[in-house]
Amino acid sequence: MDIHLAKIEPALEEREAVNSVLGAPESGWSGGERRIDLEGHCAFGGHRSQAQRHLLLPVLHAIQSRLGWITPGALNYTCQRLDLPPAEAYAVASFYGLFSLTPRPRRVLHICDDIACMTRGAEELCGRVEQRLGPPSTDTLDGKATWYRSPCLGLCERAPAALISFAGERPCEGVFAPADPNRIIAALQAEGRDAARESPDRFDVKASVPQAGQPGLTLLKRAGRIDAESIDDYRAQGGFETLRRAFSLGRSWVVREVSASGLVGRGGAAFPTGKKWDPANRPVYLVCNADESEPGTFKDRVVMEADPFSVIEAMTIAGYATGCERGYLYLRGEYPLAGERLAHAVTMARQRGFLGDDILGQGVRFDVEIRRGAGAYICGEETALFNSIEGYRGEPRNKPPFPTQFGLFGKPTVVNNVETLINVLLIVEKGGERFATMGTSGSTGPKLFSVSGHVARPGVYEVPFGATLRQLIELAGGVSGSGRLQAVLLGGAAGTFVSPGELDTPLTFEGTRAIGAVLGSGAVVLFDDTVDLRKVLLRIAAFFRDESCGQCVPCRVGTVRQEELLQRLARGRPIGSTEEELNLLKEIAQAMRDASICGLGQTASSAVESALRRWRLFPPGA
Amino acid sequence: MDQRDQKDPWLSHQPRPPVIPTPRGPVPVPPTFPPRRQLSLTVNGRKVSVAEGTTLLEALRGIGIDTPTLCYLETLTPVNVCRICVVEVEGSRTLVPACSRKVEEGMVVKTDTERVRLSRRLVVEFLASSVDVSTSPQIQAYMNRYGARPQRFGPASPPAGHRDAARAGYHEATDGSRAATVGQPVKKDNELYYRDYGKCILCYKCVEACGTDAQNTFAIAVAGHGFEARISTEHAIPLPESACVYCGNCIGVCPTGALMFASEYEMRQSGTWDESRQTQTDTICPYCGVGCTTTLHVQDGKIVKVTSPLDKDVTRGHLCVKGRFGWQFVQIRDPGSERR
Ligand SMILES: Cc1cc2nc3c(=O)[nH]c(=O)nc-3n(C[C@H](O)[C@H](O)[C@H](O)COP(=O)(O)O)c2cc1C
Ligand code: SF4
Ligand code: SF4
Ligand code: SF4
Ligand code: FES
Ligand code: FES
């Protein structure tokens, strides 16, 4: 391609950042030394460079974490290496929240002010940090640092949460949860890179999995009982035995049992996994969706942090059963510890022959590559995720065609959520029919719920499908805060509110549907009666406005108009009457639901509408 | 054999040896395609039959149903982002975009239900409340057709100067009293055309025309995220520093006047632009041998802009910088000019 590059000589640091992913350039044409004797008048690179476009996102991460922002010099050099038009590279980089395209201090603090953290002092935390550091998005600490308010960081069980990242030659990231203003500011100022990494909040199984160690757990059975960084420990507890069993029983057995189990996807859409795995689709890639960004959801993170090898084992079984030789795990960018542990698990599994060209000496080929997202909720949508891995903007594709026909790199692809995949381990262990005896006839198996907000013991809970919301709340120690429950948000921002009168609803797909609610990602956020639900709705509306990818009109503008309208109502300053505004809101919601490309726009008003159906939050004439 | 021993066949006027290479394998025959299957569908209660591979939009147009479109153009790959063409298809949870959805056997389609009209009206209202549509007769016509009242969302917010630096995933707090818009200063960084992105509906057409659908120059792309998504060069650098070759194909496909010839823009500014006084004349570009059709828009005896019809196979509406902009020499009228 005849691309037009700027005449900027990349600085050494810029060059190193890019080369750390792409390796040294092969020829003068891609930024290396021009070897006139070898290259003469021949152009090298071309298709070979362009075929590396899927490395764009990893390269951008490398630049960001080395330099603190995506500099024009580094971006230009990237384009030279990948034979990519700079406008396109810029378009991709500017899509993601974690990248900065303008100069920015190397130390960045993100403080979550989303719905679960709201119930546990996020506003106060932001206020105290603002007192010390000044307003968000401005440079502070002599230009060394900056801070932002952030959507849910997936640490809701330890709210309020904060994430710190240090760019530099030895970049590091760490989380603070529950975050204390003094501690995070001290870490932000500290010299030495390990300040953030050494945060005591890395992982605490008791805080995240209150059930840990209890008998009867299946998906969480190893949580807290193994060293998540030791493959030997994992094997000592039966790890990789399920893989062996899958190999001995054969591909079609596994697929048949998964179908018989009635397992449906845990990522939100509840699609039957057996159908997705139909060998007739001849899938090429297996993708594990670990982009968990739904506010109030953290179950996948906890699974990956507590039992990373099980995710790799489950992916391997899925890859074997569906005939895919290549797996991608797309991990949310804000999950540093899960990233570290999974990367270690992949390396160890490769070393021990559980991944690679000849797994367990059975001639099975499968390997996993971890790709890190960069702060875009929409990349959890499966087709946006494919575009993101391929090095394009994470814009969802129009469906049909569905991933089973046209997925990653245009090839048939199986994409499953982390929790869906680890359920497959159970199915292979027990057989599909026994799995199906757990739960209800419409929702089989165990289910993980991320319980947070005004609850005594927040965390990830495993219950068989069929438990009621009341039972789940009791399991989590009951309502905290004022002790008087006002509302529960099921399924996160894209989910629905339910009222205390609906606590006896079984937490199943059919049970929630019957009351006009959804289970979604399994997020359960509790709000006591001191919470102003209007503020929660405003936060959700702001979230969708921020996270709309901007591709289609109904969602790009609809989410903006929805937020503005709710702001007017909350301030008691409607255009016309409150009644008219509520009608307009219904129209906005319907257009978003009917005409948007993807699930984000289609559900962007779901929580708001469910709340307005249950409570008169904006009385007419007020 | 040493070639130099032979006489040059041309010089010696001897017949040239045959140069047709003998095929190494069987002579390839042109592929034959099975005849396209006819599919039947029901549109608003009426049975219709179309060839397989037809889009709903084509099927609807075929039977005289006028479906609105904004991001669709015959010469570009459908991006289906504006969503104004949506129709109801039985069995589908949501509405479907007619421009890109292929007809399937037995589809039952409704094009004029209240549900369809509502989504189309809101799409137009969303656009007209956030974008300056004053130079888009197409959107204005849709506003009338669907009874759009964009003022329902409140008065428009004033233009913002920093859209090019917007950070993905963040927006400034709003109190809802004003409807956010994409209003921003006009970009004029070259002699040939203006970019007034306050009029941009983000239909992706210019990006496609600059990319693989026509020009393959990739000077512009959709950058940013959400409501702050925008058409941009890398780091929003001015066009003369970018890859742009001024083919103007982006102007040719822009449905809103966000991209506009400098000549047209300046005449509009000074109030002299008057389409009722203009004639359009098709001719062939005088420059090279490709033979692109150009349409000269002439007002008061002067060429004011050049477009190219979509339905001419030579270039399907796309031109190069010379055909698009290189016509000033035609109208040097100064009697004292040497080049008269
Ligand atoms: C806006 C949006 C965000 C999503 N985010 C996630 C996510 O973070 N994790 C996930 O597993 N699925 C997510 N999904 C659902 C995926 O598109 C897809 O349905 C899922 O990964 C399929 O896996 P499953 O069948 O195992 O559930 C999201 C969907 C939408 C529309
Ligand atoms: S619905 Fe929203 S997130 Fe989905 S494609 Fe449209 S603009 Fe993007
Ligand atoms: S004038 Fe041509 S090259 Fe320049 S931006 Fe438009 S389409 Fe691209
Ligand atoms: S500038 Fe014109 S063609 Fe390009 S996206 Fe905007 S409205 Fe569409
Ligand atoms: S981490 Fe703050 S809401 Fe989830
Ligand atoms: S014309 Fe079909 S979505 Fe724009």
Domains in chain B: boundaries: 36-155, 182-339
| Nearest CB partner across the interface for A545, out of B94, B217, B226 | B226
Q: Which residues contact B30 (CB under 8 A, 6 or more apart)?
A: none
Phi, psi (degrees; rounded to nearest 5) at A340: -60, -50
pLDDT of residue B21: 62
pLDDT of B336 over the 80 cut = no
- Nearest alpha-carbon partner for B57 in B48, B44, B45, B66: B66
- Nearest alpha-carbon partner for B304 in B286, B285, B277, B284: B277
pLDDT of residue B38: 95
CA-to-CA distance for A54 and A46, rounded, in angstroms? Answer: 15
CA-to-CA distance for B71 and B66, rounded, in angstroms? Answer: 15
| Predicted ipTM beyond 0.90 | yes
CB B101: neighbour CB atoms within 10 A? Answer: 23
Question: Is A107-202 in CATH node 3.50.50.60?
Answer: no
Answer whether A275 contacts ligand 1 (Cβ < 6 A).
no
What integer is the mean pLDDT of A596-604? 98
CA-to-CA distance for A84 and B14, rounded, in angstroms? Answer: 52
The b/e string for A571-581 (b: 16+ C-beta within 10 A; e otherwise) is: eeebbeebeeb
What does the pLDDT look like over A306-324, one tens digit per residue?
Answer: 999 999 999 999 999 999 9
What integer is the mean pLDDT of B77-102? 97
pLDDT of A127 over the 80 cut = yes
* pLDDT level of residue A35 (50, 70, 90 thresholds): confident
Interface residue of A71, A94, A602 to substitute, partner B, most B CBs within 10 Å = A94
The b/e string for A519-530 (b: 16+ C-beta within 10 A; e otherwise) is: bbbbbbbbbbee
Chains A, B: CB contacts within 8 A come to 205
Q: Taking the model in full, what pTM does it have?
A: 0.95
CA-to-CA distance for B57 and A556, rounded, in angstroms? Answer: 24
SS3 label, residue A325: coil
Question: Is A533-614 in CATH node 3.30.565.10?
Answer: no
CA-to-CA distance for B154 and B177, rounded, in angstroms? Answer: 7
What integer is the mean pLDDT of A365-371? 98
Q: Which B positions 171-210 lie with beta carbon below 8 A of chain A?
A: 171, 174-180, 201-202
CA-to-CA distance for A270 and A512, rounded, in angstroms? Answer: 13
Of the listed ranges A461-475, A567-581, B27-41, the least confidently predicted one is B27-41
CA-to-CA distance for A509 and A495, rounded, in angstroms? Answer: 13
* C-alpha angle A186-A192-A197 in degrees, rounded to nearest 5: 70
Looking from the CA of A324 toward its CB, the CA atoms found within 13 Å total: 29
Per-residue tokens: A261: 């189990």
Looking from the CA of B259 toward its CB, the CA atoms found within 13 Å total: 24
* pLDDT level of residue A37 (50, 70, 90 thresholds): confident
B36-155 CATH fold: Ubiquitin-like (UB roll) (3.10.20)
The b/e string for A38-47 (b: 16+ C-beta within 10 A; e otherwise) is: ebeeeebbee
CA-to-CA distance for A123 and A132, rounded, in angstroms? Answer: 14
DSSP bridge pairs for B49:
B40
What does the pLDDT look like over B249-258, one tens digit per residue?
Answer: 999 999 999 9
Question: In chain A, whose CA is at the least distance from the CA of B130?
Answer: A557
Concatenated DSSP letters for B104-140?
Answer: -TT-EEESSSHHHHHHHHHHHHHHHHHS--TT-HHHH
| Nearest CB partner across the interface for A595, out of B95, B217, B233 | B95
What does the pLDDT look like over B5-33, one tens digit per residue?
Answer: 455 555 555 556 656 666 677 777 888 87
Answer whether B246 contacts ligand 3 (Cβ < 6 A).
yes
Per the prediction, chain B carries an average pLDDT of 92
Separation of CA A560 and ligand 2 centre (Å): 13
pLDDT of residue B2: 47
C-alpha distance from residue A184 to each of A153, A178, A200, B172, B198 (Å): 15, 10, 11, 25, 41
pLDDT of A158 over the 60 cut = yes
Concatenated DSSP letters for A485-523?
Answer: EEEEEESGGGSEEE-GGGTTSBSSHHHHHHTT---TT-E
CB B276: neighbour CB atoms within 10 A? Answer: 5
Q: Which residues contact A171 (CB under 8 A, 6 or more apart)?
A: A65, A66, A165, A193
What does the pLDDT look like over A84-119, one tens digit per residue?
Answer: 999 999 999 999 999 999 999 999 999 999 999 999
CA-to-CA distance for A600 and A582, rounded, in angstroms? Answer: 21
Answer whether A267 contacts ligand 1 (Cβ < 6 A).
yes
Count of residues for chain B?
A: 340
pLDDT of B338 over the 70 cut = no
Among all chains, which residue has been given the structure tokens 């909350």?
A: A570
CB B220: neighbour CB atoms within 10 A? Answer: 27
* CATH number of B182-339, picked from 3.30.70.20, 3.40.50.1820, 1.10.10.2840, 1.10.110.30: 3.30.70.20
Looking from the CA of A604 toward its CB, the CA atoms found within 13 Å total: 37
CA-to-CA distance for B24 and A44, rounded, in angstroms? Answer: 31
- The fraction of chain A above a pLDDT of 90, given in percent, is 92
DSSP bridge pairs for B194:
B260
What integer is the mean pLDDT of B182-207? 97
Among all chains, which residue has been given the structure tokens 């875009």?
A: A376
* pLDDT level of residue B1 (50, 70, 90 thresholds): very low
Query: Are A88 and B167 in contact (CB < 8 Å)?
Result: no
C-alpha distance from residue A15 to each of A2, A8, A76, A90, A508 (Å): 22, 12, 10, 17, 52
* pLDDT level of residue A201 (50, 70, 90 thresholds): confident
Among all chains, which residue has been given the structure tokens 């080929």?
A: A365
pLDDT of residue B6: 52
Query: When comparing pLDDT for A396 and B314, which is higher?
Result: A396
What integer is the mean pLDDT of B120-142? 98
Interface residue A398 vs chain B (CB under 8 A) = yes
Separation of CA A157 and ligand 5 centre (Å): 8
Query: Are B81 and A551 in contact (CB < 8 Å)?
Result: yes
Question: Is A231-436 in CATH node 3.40.1190.20?
Answer: no
Phi, psi (degrees; rounded to nearest 5) at B333: -115, -5
- Nearest alpha-carbon partner for A490 in A469, A510, A504: A469
SS3 label, residue A614: helix
Question: In chain A, whose CA is at the least distance from the CA of B223?
Answer: A91
Q: Which CATH architecture fits A450-528?
A: Roll (3.10)
**In chain A, how many H helices and how many E strands?**
28, 15
Interface residue of B225, B230, B232 to substitute, partner A, most A CBs within 10 Å = B225
* C-alpha angle A150-A587-A593 in degrees, rounded to nearest 5: 60
Query: Are B100 and A553 in contact (CB < 8 Å)?
Result: no
pLDDT of residue A404: 97
- Taken in order A497, A502, A508, A512, is the CA torsion positive or negative? negative
Answer whether A548 contacts ligand 2 (Cβ < 6 A).
yes
pLDDT of B3 over the 50 cut = no
What integer is the mean pLDDT of A132-152? 96
| Nearest CB partner across the interface for A553, out of B82, B168, B232 | B82
- Nearest alpha-carbon partner for A348 in A197, A220, A235: A235
Per the prediction, chain A carries an average pLDDT of 95
C-alpha distance from residue A134 to each of A69, A139, A189 (Å): 21, 8, 15
CA-to-CA distance for A370 and A312, rounded, in angstroms? Answer: 11
Which residue has a Cα nearest atom 25 of ligand 1? A265
- DSSP at A468: B
Per-residue tokens: A295: 């506010």
What integer is the mean pLDDT of A501-509? 98
Residue type, A326: R
DSSP bridge pairs for A356:
A366
Interface residue of B55, B96, B122 to substitute, partner A, most A CBs within 10 Å = B122
- The fraction of chain B above a pLDDT of 70, given in percent, is 91
Interface residue A582 vs chain B (CB under 8 A) = no
Q: Which residues have any ligand 5 atom within 6 Å of their CB?
A: A 112, 114-117, 152-156, 159, 161, 295-296
Per-residue tokens: B36: 């396209």
Question: Which residues of chain B are within 8 Å of residue A89 when distances are taken between CB atoms?
Answer: 234
What integer is the mean pLDDT of B185-202? 97
Task: Sketch the domain layout of chain A as residue ranges.
Answer: 5-24+40-93, 107-202, 231-436, 450-528, 533-614
